[in-house]
Amino acid sequence: MERTEHHASFGGRQEVWQHASRSTGTPMKLGVYLPPAALKGEACPVLYWLSGLTCTEQNFITKAGAQQFAAEHGLILIAPDTSPRGDDVPNDPAYDLGQGAGFYVNATQAPWATNFRMEEYVVHELPEVVAALLQQQGVKTSGRQGIFGHSMGGHGALTLALRHPGAYQSVSAFAPIVAPSAVPWGQKVFTAYLGEDRTQWLAHDTVALIPGAKERLPILVDQGADDEFLSQLQPELLKAACEQVGHPFTLNMRPGYDHSYYFIASFMGEHMAHHAAALKAAG
């Protein structure tokens, strides 16, 4: 592991690390924010952020304004890249497929299957990497972790929490793609990564996963009412699915807000408080 950036921030430290990933077969970068409490030796929960299409680890750590709230609540923040990258990694000219568009699934179709294994990376490898990195710095964790994200990353946060019960103790999303099987973004990517069998797609579709969820982890979603991609997001479908089975769900429709990080930063404090309450509760 190689540290490529470190900056003082709200009494803590924002870092960027790079490591060789066994899941993707490529170097992967991740942002790591260590709050003051962690630097003082307190055991802190870990909160993972998954970014959206075209993003890297940089978008969140420079635009979301999350560090001040992580410092306040004593949360370690981890923000990985959105896909494998490199000259030898498959890609596509469009922004919504290939590098920058991992969609947090394990691809099964050529040429994507070798490198595009983002579910394996986020759920299994990344916690191991983070544990080793923190141990190297003498930083302790509480053993509890949460996950949240934006757009494609919101899809990732919700589906990974639902697909891996017990792995996360809190979940939330900003403008998530909640029914990728039913919208162009998801249909394009799922066809490429998972193949033509649409029954395989439903295993990575939040609306489809809700009825059979093995735990009812409360979901918080914020959505800009003036989001230019609202037709691809359709939060009302998730609301209806949760109401049908009694899954705890809060949807905040935010008038005037779009899909940008201006929207995310405006409500980041509420999401961080949501995670802090769950992650600091008795295990």
115 backbone dihedrals φ, ψ, rounded to 5°: -105, -30
How many Å apart are CA 77 and CA 146, to the nearest integer? 10
* Burial call 156-180: b when 16+ CB within 10 Å, e when fewer: bbbbbbbbeeeebbbbbbbbbbbbb
- Residues 211/245, Cβ–Cβ less than 8 Å: yes
Residue of 73, 155, 259, 274 marked catalytic: 259
Query: Cα(130)–Cα(128) distance, rounded to whole angstroms?
Result: 5
Active site residue 227: yes
Q: Which two tokens stand for residue 55?
A: 């993003």
Whether 151 is a known active-site residue: answer yes
d(CA 260, CA 151): 10
SS3 annotation, 163-213? HCCCCCCEEEEECCCCCHHHCHHHHHHHHHHHCCCHHHHHHHCHHHHHHHC
Both tokens assigned to 155: 């899809």
Question: How many beta carbons lie within 10 A of that of residue 214, not counting itself?
Answer: 10
**To which H or E segment does residue 142 belong?**
strand 141-150
Q: What is the DSSP pairing of strand 2-9 with strand 12-20?
A: antiparallel
Tokens at 230, concatenated: 């609202």
* Active-site annotation holder among 51, 151, 170, 172: 151
Whether 142 is a known active-site residue: answer no
Q: Which of 227, 271, 274, 275 is catalytic?
A: 227
Is residue 48 within 8 Å of 129, Cβ to Cβ? no
Residue 52 token pair: 């959206």
Catalytic positions, written as ranges:
151, 227, 259
